[in-house]
């Protein structure tokens, strides 16, 4: 079918601070022979494309309507254009093909790989990421879904790496700041600056704190969720791990703390200048947020029996990783990373300050 017959629209995911109408790969950008092969697999022609733009991934993420009336969500990336993106798709394929049918995620349909291109096809779902700041009712549905996710069987039947080594290798931010001091830390996070040595010691507990036999998504945040009237779908699984059942709960709540909850506390106002100037963090609700995060975690079925030392280690690891990322130059593929990281570091530290060291 000629390219000009395919209607293309761009949909911006609501409330995503990193949303942009970039040069994200679209159907017409795939090689003609690859498009023909994919249409043969689908046994239909593509007649309409809705490119879903969220974040800064250069890969294709499009809802395709077919000549049969069916719809499919297609992700595609090319190794020679962006190896990191293509390798993440390959990692996701290894997980998606083995997740149990009861997993709260769109059904994986088929994949294509030729050594350069990697294409993943999923069932189409009519959902969008949560609106930010979070609505309490939607957040409640997501928190319920985490219980369902943690109860999935078969963590050892999927090629999942153990969470301990994965997260411990990243939880070195405070130790790095001891060796390579961050000049702005006393201004933007005075509580952490006064406890830098203690934080570096606490983050060392991540390796043990992560131990468990549950399927862990590993990147639980609003933009990796699709909310419909009936279902909360968990998307994008390349970082999946095997570990403690409560890790996704802790990770999600750190991001929620940064994004705010309507009627409870406001989002973090954070900015990291690109000229090397001092970052800015404004958060009048930090104390309220820290208390709220503690209460929600303790009241949740996955958080109720977690040892306080394990939670402190994970929060220190998250906060140190994020603060260290906030002081690094932004990669071209993700220019907002330092600002987003700073907001999450503030959230994790507000929670940790409420718990105390």
Tens-digit pLDDT profile for the chain (357 aa)?
A: 444 456 555 444 544 444 444 567 899 999 999 999 999 999 999 999 998 765 556 789 999 999 999 999 999 999 999 999 999 999 999 999 999 999 999 999 999 999 899 999 999 998 889 999 999 999 999 999 999 999 998 878 888 999 999 999 999 999 999 999 999 999 999 999 999 999 999 999 999 999 999 999 999 999 999 999 999 999 999 999 999 999 999 999 999 999 999 999 999 999 999 887 889 999 999 999 999 999 999 999 999 999 999 999 999 999 999 999 999 998 877 788 999 999 999 999 999 999 998
Question: Alpha-carbon distance 272 to 281, whole Å?
Answer: 9
CATH no., domain 3-123:
3.30.200.20
Question: Alpha-carbon distance 330 to 328, whole Å?
Answer: 6
State whether residue 267 is helix, strand or coil: coil
Predicted TM-score (pTM) of this structure = 0.92
In this prediction, residue 76 carries a pLDDT of 96
96: tokens are: 């998606």
**Which CATH architecture group holds 136-355?**
Alpha-Beta Complex (3.90)
Domain residue ranges in the chain: 3-123, 136-355
Distance set, CA 227 to CA 20, 137, 138, 220 (Å): 21, 12, 8, 14
Q: Which residue has the tokens 């100037």?
A: 277
């Amino acid at each position: 079918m000629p390219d000009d017959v395919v209607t293309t629209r761009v949909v911006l995911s609501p409330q995503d601070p990193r949303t942009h109408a970039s040069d994200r790969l679209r159907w017409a950008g795939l090689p003609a022979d690859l498009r023909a092969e994919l249409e043969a697999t689908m046994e239909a022609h593509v007649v309409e494309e809705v490119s879903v733009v969220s974040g800064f991934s250069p890969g294709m993420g499009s809802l395709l309507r077919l000549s049969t009336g069916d719809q499919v969500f297609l992700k595609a990336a090319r190794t020679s254009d962006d190896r990191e993106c293509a390798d993440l798709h390959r990692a996701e394929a290894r997980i998606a093909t083995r997740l149990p049918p009861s997993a709260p995620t769109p059904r994986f349909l088929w994949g294509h790989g030729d050594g350069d291109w990697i294409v993943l096809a999923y069932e189409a779902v009519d959902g969008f990421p949560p609106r930010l700041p979070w609505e309490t009712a939607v957040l409640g549905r997501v928190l319920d879904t985490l219980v369902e996710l943690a109860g999935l069987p078969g963590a050892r039947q999927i090629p999942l790496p153990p969470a301990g080594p994965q997260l411990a290798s990243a939880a070195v931010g405070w130790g790095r700041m001891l060796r390579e001091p961050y000049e702005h830390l006393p201004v933007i996070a005075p509580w952490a600056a006064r406890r830098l040595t203690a934080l570096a010691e606490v983050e060392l507990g991540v390796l043990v704190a992560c131990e468990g036999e549950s399927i862990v998504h590993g990147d639980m945040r609003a933009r990796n969720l699709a909310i419909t009237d009936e279902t909360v779908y968990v998307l994008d699984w390349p970082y999946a791990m095997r570990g403690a059942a409560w890790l996704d709960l802790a990770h999600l709540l750190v991001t929620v703390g940064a994004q705010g909850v309507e009627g409870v506390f406001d989002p973090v106002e954070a900015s990291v200048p690109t000229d090397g100037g001092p970052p800015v963090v404004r958060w009048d609700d930090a104390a309220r947020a820290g208390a709220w995060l503690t209460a929600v975690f303790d009241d949740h079925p996955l958080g109720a029996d977690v040892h306080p030392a394990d939670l402190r280690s994970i929060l220190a690891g998250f906060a140190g990783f994020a603060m260290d990322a906030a002081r690094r130059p932004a990669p071209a593929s993700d220019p907002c990373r330092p600002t987003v990281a700073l907001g999450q570091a503030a959230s994790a530290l507000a929670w940790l300050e409420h718990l105390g060291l």
